[in-house]
């Protein structure tokens, strides 16, 4: 019987072990999509305790605690930080076979050299040990990033953000690149006209201009796009239920924006046309600058309206949606490609039923100009666990070139989430190792090792140009 979480964790064959230890393990990390807070990096803060570093904002853990019958007081409520940690520790033994069990203990080992299993019995010792370390200079947020061999990371930033903390980081001499990513979802969300107008008013302030027409709106957004580029940004991102690709005319979008600015209701079809047009505008700007654009598709958000009203969004009430993706995605990509305006693109799906759909769709628009120009992004959110990763990797292998994949990302709000890259790398090495030992791939470990290093690091480095 193998030991839990030993050096050969997830590596089921000798070949897999060689591939991981000799080729994958030492590769630096490029984390091109996460939700880390730039201010915390700029100010190089120290968390007061492991609860602040680990449980604040982590709705993966929150959902598990709720499923385990933990009262909200100990999740997002007014319980003390230790009480919240204790409730999480008591929950951990019940997370067996959930990826949280692996991630929790990987993070304790990799950051804190804590090898004991977390439970209610060990809660006090683990809390005290980790919290004491987190208050030292070695365990500041920059120290935590250094521990994981991070080379580049990209946060997720709204067009109205002033990027002052990215500027502070860039001017501080910090050896890890911490770059912004352009996330304009609020700028195209015409589902809520009042909220969109509030956003436009904020954009007026930031851009020091009046916005009453569509052209003025686009000019102001384009200035923000340019500003992001001036501050090191070369990546955009969208979180959408599905791609919008309705037919529209410029005159229609001008008229729709006029209604929006007058706080008038728009029809369902006008809503779809406005979103469709905005996606195209953003994509054209991305192409002009040589950026990489990312599309996260398929989340059904804010399902529990009672809890949404109490806690707000991004607190653990989202799930996988069953949206129709193929036709509109094809139409959108084709429109850009036809006009030679299709930037390098990464598409992530949340519904595993769409794996084959996305894996075949990207092949329609890989035109030979760039290796892996259109990417099937790594398993996302509910799918970034062992089974989900294996399914995504196998689908990409069967229908595209896994050898050109740009690897893993954390998509996390936590500075302790980077062992997810290790988790991914072990799974990749195990897949290749099994194929070698089954005689399905040749035993050329130098070449296969190169492919694995490419997937882990070099493909992303070349693709993003960092």
Query: Quick one: pLDDT at residue 1?
Result: 85
> Which of the following CATH numbers is that of domain 46-139: 1.10.2020.10, 3.40.50.920, 1.10.275.10, 1.10.10.10?
1.10.2020.10
Show pLDDT as tens, one digit a residue, over the chain (466 residues). Answer: 889 999 999 999 999 999 999 999 999 999 999 999 999 999 999 999 999 999 999 999 999 999 999 999 999 999 999 999 999 999 999 999 999 999 999 999 999 999 999 999 999 999 999 999 999 999 999 999 999 999 999 999 999 999 999 999 999 999 999 999 999 999 999 999 999 999 999 999 999 999 999 999 999 999 999 999 999 999 999 999 999 999 999 999 999 999 999 999 999 999 999 999 999 999 999 999 999 999 999 999 999 999 999 999 999 999 999 999 999 999 999 999 999 999 999 999 999 999 999 999 999 999 999 999 999 999 999 999 999 999 999 999 999 999 999 999 999 999 999 999 999 999 999 999 999 999 999 999 999 999 999 999 999 999 999 9
Residue 355 CA neighbour count, 13 Å, CB half: 19
429: tokens are: 């090495």
Residue 416's CB: how many other CB atoms inside 10 A? 26
Contacts of 179 (CB under 8 A, 6+ apart): 152, 153, 154, 155, 166, 232, 233, 234, 235
Query: Above pLDDT 90, what percent of the chain?
Result: 99
pLDDT digits (tens, 9 = 90+) for 180-230: 999 999 999 999 999 999 999 999 999 999 999 999 999 999 999 999 999
Residue 310 CA to residue 288 CA, distance in Å, equals: 42
Query: Quick one: pLDDT at residue 113?
Result: 98
Topology adopted by domain 14-36+154-464: TIM Barrel (3.20.20)
Q: Which of 236, 323, 316, 232 is nearest to 278 (CA)?
A: 236
Is this prediction's pTM over 0.85? yes
Contact 346, 292 (CB under 8 A): yes
The side-by-side arrangement of strands in the sheet containing 344-349 is 235-240, 292-297, 344-349, 374-376
Q: Which of 453, 320, 448 is nearest to 384 (CA)?
A: 320
Residue 179 CA to residue 7 CA, distance in Å, equals: 33
Q: Where are the domains of the chain?
A: 14-36+154-464, 46-139
pLDDT digits (tens, 9 = 90+) for 246-280: 999 999 999 999 999 999 999 999 999 999 999 99
Residue 106 CA neighbour count, 13 Å, CB half: 20
């Amino acid at each position: 019987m193998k030991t839990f979480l030993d050096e050969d964790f997830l590596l089921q064959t000798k070949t897999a072990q060689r591939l991981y230890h000799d080729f994958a393990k030492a590769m630096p990390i490029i984390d091109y999509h996460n939700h880390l807070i730039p201010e915390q990096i700029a100010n190089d803060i120290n968390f007061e305790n492991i609860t602040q570093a680990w449980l604040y904002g982590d709705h993966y853990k929150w959902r598990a605690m709720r499923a385990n019958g933990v009262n909200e007081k100990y999740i997002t409520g007014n319980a003390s930080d230790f009480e919240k940690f204790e409730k999480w520790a008591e929950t951990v033994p019940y997370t067996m076979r959930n990826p949280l069990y692996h991630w929790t203990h990987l993070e304790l080992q990799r950051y804190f050299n804590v090898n004991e299993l977390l439970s209610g019995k060990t809660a006090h010792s683990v809390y005290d040990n980790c919290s004491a370390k987190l208050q030292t200079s070695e365990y500041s947020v920059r120290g935590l990033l250094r521990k994981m061999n991070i080379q580049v990371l990209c946060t997720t930033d709204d067009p109205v953000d002033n990027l002052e903390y990215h500027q502070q980081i860039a001017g501080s001499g910090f050896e890890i690149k911490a770059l912004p990513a352009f996330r304009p979802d609020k700028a195209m969300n015409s589902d809520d006209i009042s909220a969109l107008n509030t956003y436009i008013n904020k954009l007026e302030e930031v851009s020091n201009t009046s916005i009453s027409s569509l052209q003025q709106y686009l000019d102001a957004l384009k200035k923000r796009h340019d500003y992001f580029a001036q501050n090191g940004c070369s990546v955009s991102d969208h979180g959408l239920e599905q791609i919008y690709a309705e037919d529209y005319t410029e005159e229609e979008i001008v008229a729709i924006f006029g209604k929006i600015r007058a706080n008038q209701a728009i029809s369902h079809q006008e809503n779809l046309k406005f979103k469709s047009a905005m996606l195209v505008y953003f994509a054209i700007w991305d192409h002009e600058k040589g950026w990489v654009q990312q599309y996260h598709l398929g989340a059904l958000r804010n399902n529990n309206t009672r809890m949404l009203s109490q806690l707000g969004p991004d607190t653990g009430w989202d799930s996988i949606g069953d949206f129709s993706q193929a036709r509109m995605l094809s139409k959108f990509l084709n429109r850009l490609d036809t006009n030679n305006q299709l930037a390098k693109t990464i598409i992530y799906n949340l519904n595993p039923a769409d794996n084959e759909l996305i894996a075949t769709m990207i092949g329609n628009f890989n035109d030979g100009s760039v290796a892996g120009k259109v990417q099937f992004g790594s398993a996302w959110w509910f799918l970034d666990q062992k089974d989900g990763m294996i399914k995504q990797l196998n689908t990409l292998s069967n229908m595209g070139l896994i050898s050109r994949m740009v690897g893993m990302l954390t998509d996390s709000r936590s500075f302790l989430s980077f062992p997810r890259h290790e988790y991914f790398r072990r799974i990749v090495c195990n897949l290749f190792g099994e194929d070698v030992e089954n005689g399905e791939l040749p035993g050329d470990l130098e070449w296969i090792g190169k492919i694995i290093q490419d997937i882990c690091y070099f493909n992303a480095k070349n693709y993003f140009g960092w």
